[in-house]
A and B are shown apart, each in its own frame.
Chain A
Amino acid sequence: MFRRKQKSASSAKDRLQFVLIHDRTNLTPEQMNRLKDELLTVLAKYVSIDGQGVNISVEQDGREQRLLADIPLKPAETLRRR
């Protein structure tokens, strides 16, 4: 009985969460996407990345922001063949 379509206040909160992260870090969504791409390119030089499970985001932690990167790695070739 509590399931309803999203109320306007909760969409305000979601939108604010998004916009405040970009305001506080001075990063546009476009720059954020480039950051992710470049980060993955650099990492791929050293390890093999499982692109499916990659999750990179900026999260709010009190008044501070943190860049969280969850990047699953593929097993090394040698290990896989065994």
Chain B
Amino acid sequence: MAAKVITVTSGKGGVGKTTNVANIAAGLALGGSKVVCIDGDIGLRNLDVVLGLENRIVYDLVDVIEGRCRLRQAMIKDKRIADLYLIPAAQTRDKTAVSPSDMVRLCDQMRPEFDWIVIDCPAGIERGFRNALAPADMVLVVTNPEISAVRDADRIIGLVEAEEKGPALLILNRVNMEMVKRGDMLTPDDVVDLLAIELIGIIPEDEQVLVGSNQGVPVVFDQKSRAGQAFRNVCARLNGENVPFMDLEARPALFGRLGKLFRGAAD
């Protein structure tokens, strides 16, 4: 095995980066890959709670880098899926505790044993971003169809290109088709036009995402959730499958309307 390193970044905070990392890592593991994810947000640890692994942390990323534990000891194994591991962020330190070359070394050490290494990049464009970007083979930029998030995504895409880590791929998160249809939300096509990069995922807004986070169970496990399906599709595309984008709009609304029509006729 020679792992591919995916760095998930966004520029702006709060667009769903950590949720995306949790679901992509879990989704890839569900598909039979061996996956480790790294929480790169030192001082603001979060991936552990989203994955439901917070109770099992003993050592963290900085402990590994500073030699207080072996790499193995800092990897928390998820008990629900065969091959999913987490290296949590340190909570009591800051980003300067890790350097870009530390991250490259750490990932190189893990590459032979894994299929995928997924790094959760902190918000912003400073040290934490450079740490997360340094080992990347592939960069996923997460954004929302929201003016500030798209602008920041554009900045990040430019920086990724400048570091010769591009072209980045886009995940458009929290798309609300009702609003798109009303003309009150940028469409996926609008965002792709503006950012001029390739899309790898469109995640519909879905209450089950929050429900999953509440319980520490990423929504990708939920077979009925549309967001879960969208994340499974992202994972399939990462594995080289040619999966068409889900038809977000038509179905429920169309059926609803048709249903109403038929009911109307029957009345």
Q: Do A and B come from one complex?
A: yes
> Which residues from chain A sit less than 8 Å from chain B, CB to CB?
4, 7-10, 12-13, 15-17, 19-20, 23-24, 60, 62-63
**Chain A interface main SS type:** helix
Which single member of A8, A16, A17 contacts B183 (CB below 8 Å)?
A8
Beyond A8-B184, A15-B147, A63-B196: 20 further Cβ-contacts under 8 Å?
A: A8-B183, A9-B185, A9-B187, A9-B190, A10-B183, A12-B147, A12-B186, A13-B186, A16-B150, A16-B151, A17-B194, A20-B151, A23-B151, A24-B154, A60-B196, A62-B196, A63-B157, A63-B158, A63-B161, A63-B167
Question: In the assembled complex, which residues on chain A have CB atoms less than 8 Å from the CB atom of B111?
Answer: none
Q: How large is the interface on B (under 10, 10 to 19, 20 to 34, 35 or more residues)?
A: 20 to 34
Interface centre among B154, B182, B187 (most CB of A within 10 A): B154
Closest 10 CB pairs of A and B: A7-B183, A62-B196, A63-B196, A8-B184, A12-B147, A13-B190, A9-B186, A9-B183, A20-B154, A16-B194
Q: Which residues of B contact A20 (CB under 8 A)?
A: 151, 154, 194
Contacts of B182 in A (CB 8 A): 7
Distance in angstroms between the alpha carbons of A27 and B51 in the assembled complex: 43
Bound Cα distance A13, B197 (Å): 16
Residue of B nearest to A10 (CB): B183
Which residues of chain A are near B190, meaning CB under 8 Å? 9, 12-13
Cβ contact within 8 Å between B194 and A13: yes
* CB <8 Å contact, B196 and A9: no
- Which of B147, B155, B180 has the most chain A CB within a 10 Å cutoff? B147
Q: Which residues of A contact B158 (CB under 8 A)?
A: 24, 63
Question: Which secondary structure characterizes the binding site on chain B?
Answer: helix
A selection of 10 A-B contacts at a CB cut-off of 8 Å is A9-B179, A9-B184, A9-B190, A12-B186, A13-B190, A13-B194, A19-B151, A62-B196, A63-B158, A63-B167
Interface residues of B in 150-183 (CB under 8 A from A): 150-151, 154-155, 157-158, 161, 167, 179-180, 182-183
| Given A12-B147, A16-B147, A62-B196, A23 and B183 contact (CB-CB distance below 8 Å) | no
Q: B154 to chain A: closest CB distance in Å?
A: 5
A9-B197 in contact given A15-B147, A20-B151, A23-B151 (Cβ < 8 Å): no
Chain A residues in 8 Å Cβ range of B161: 63
Rounded to whole angstroms, the CA-CA distance of A60 and B157 in the bound complex is 15
A7 in complex: contacting residue of B150, B167, B184, B197, CB < 8 Å: B184
